[in-house]
Amino acid sequence: MSENMVLDRKDYLIMQFLQENGWLQTKELSARIGLSNSATAQRVKLLKEAGYIESAHAVVQRDIMGAHLEALFLMELDKHDEEIVEEFMREIVQLPEVLSAFLVTGRHDVVVNVVAQDMLHLKKLAFEQFTNRPFITRIETSMVYASRHSRVLQPLM
């Protein structure tokens, strides 16, 4: 029942509403999509079991966490040995300051989105966690004036 589940419009609606608001209750959700409470709960359960709904996460205010500055590190790597790069990506995303990391083609090789308390913190982060590593040949730091995030991925078809 989980692998080859066929999704209809109501399943996509459920996923859209739960992306917009992860705290939406079954009662409200069922009212919106026009199904009974139990039918809706069933679908949500199946969508989770099938892995189509992966997880949910609360979003907290940044300042309360001391994240007053945001930046992008645009980095170039020396050797693109897959193992090293994959391990590097896994490692950095564990750092409390790292929000996301992208392994990319083009002028840069890795783009990392970080937060920091202040410039001193950012400097220490850059030097002690990145400049540090021998396979990183260059880091360009772009300060972020403003960032916006869409938390809802809609069907593109």
Binding residues for DNA, rule: CB under 7 A, are 10, 25-28, 34-39, 41-45
Question: What's at 31, amino acid-wise?
Answer: A
Task: Tell me the C-alpha distance between 37 and 43, whole Å.
Answer: 10
Task: Tell me the C-alpha distance between 29 and 49, whole Å.
Answer: 18
Site string for its own copies, 77-116 (x = CB under 8 A): ---------x--xx--xx-xxxxxxxxxxxxx--x-x-xx
Of 35 and 95, CB closest to its own copies? 95
State both tokens at 16: 């859209």
Of 52 and 135, CB closest to its own copies? 52
Contact assessment for residue 101 and residue 89, using Cβ atoms and an 8 Å cutoff: yes
- 26's contact among its own copies, DNA, none, with CB below 5 to 8 A by partner kind, is DNA
How many CB atoms lie under 10 A from the CB of residue 70? 19
Task: Tell me the C-alpha distance between 83 and 9, whole Å.
Answer: 41
- 78's contact among its own copies, DNA, none, with CB below 5 to 8 A by partner kind, is none
- 35's contact among DNA, its own copies, none, with CB below 5 to 8 A by partner kind, is DNA
Question: What's at 118, amino acid-wise?
Answer: D
**Residue 54 sits in the site that holds its own copies (CB under 8 A):** yes
C-alpha to C-alpha distances, 84 to 75, 89, 101, nearest whole angstrom: 15, 9, 15
- 116's contact among DNA, its own copies, none, with CB below 5 to 8 A by partner kind, is its own copies
Binding residues (CB under 8 A) for its own copies: these are 7, 15, 18-23, 51-62, 64-67, 70, 72, 74, 86, 89-90, 93-94, 96-108, 111, 113, 115-117, 121, 140-157
